[in-house]
Amino acid sequence: MVTPMPDDLRRTAEQARGFMPPAEGQALYEIACAYGSRGPICEVGTYCGKSAIYLGAGARRAGTVVFTVDHHRGSEEIQPGWPHHDPDLVDPKTGRMDSLPFFRDTIAAAGLEDEVIAIVGASATVARHWSTPLSVLFIDGGHSEEPVTADYEGWAPHVMPGGALVFHDIYPDPADGGQAPYRVYLRALESGDFREARVTGSLRVLERV
């Protein structure tokens, strides 16, 4: 049985900016606890650090760390004019999105700076130079076809045997949400390299066979 997430970390996560429902966040924590002792965790798509708190809390329990990769300039769906845009994240000096200061504040408030390590850069660039096997890979970056495909192709090969590949915002019904993550999730299943291990809301957990 997984030890419950500490109440202070859970409250901090629930209050942080972001789009992770509590039940799915709790699932992330449990996944990090279950798989993290095998190696480091990688999150693709940091935003302001909400999901990184759940992963970081689990990483602390498992004795590992979370590398969270993001250029912090915002994915397509949070740019001005899009439904998830937050004007507070626009840097007044440059006029560009910049979620990095908000991420740093979030992780500092959670007391997880030793467990959650930011890698600031484009996911595809970092993936090309990555070589460490991962116990958990959480893909939650750009949700249109090109970025989610690139995240899968660049990072999934680094998931170790028995490790977990986790997708967020998987909606089989187009009426519920965008289809690009769902198509890539199906591609992962059809590859034969992964089997489905858990479903929580829009979260899908695949285990490398």
* Active-site residue list: 143
Q: Are residues 156 and 189 in contact, defined by beta-carbon separation less than 8 angstroms?
A: no
For residue 5, give both structure tokens. 């997430």
Of 201, 185, 205, which is closest to residue 19 (Cα–Cα)?
Answer: 201
CA distance 205 to 137: 10
Residue 132 CA to residue 57 CA, distance in Å, equals 21
Residues 6+ apart with CB under 8 A from 84: 19, 77, 78
